[in-house]
Structure 1
Amino acid sequence: MGAQGMVCSANDTVTEQVVAIKKMTNPFQNVVFAKRAYREIKLMKLFNHKNIMGLLNAFTPQRSLKEFQDVYLVMEHMDTALEKNHWE
Structure 2
Amino acid sequence: MSRDQFEVIGNSLFDRTQDFLKDHPTASYDSYVLMMILYFIRGIETMEGPDLQATLRNPRIGINTRVRVVYDVTRYLMKEGY
**Fold match, TM over 0.5?**
no
Higher helix share: 2
Higher strand share: 1
TM-score by length of 2: 0.31
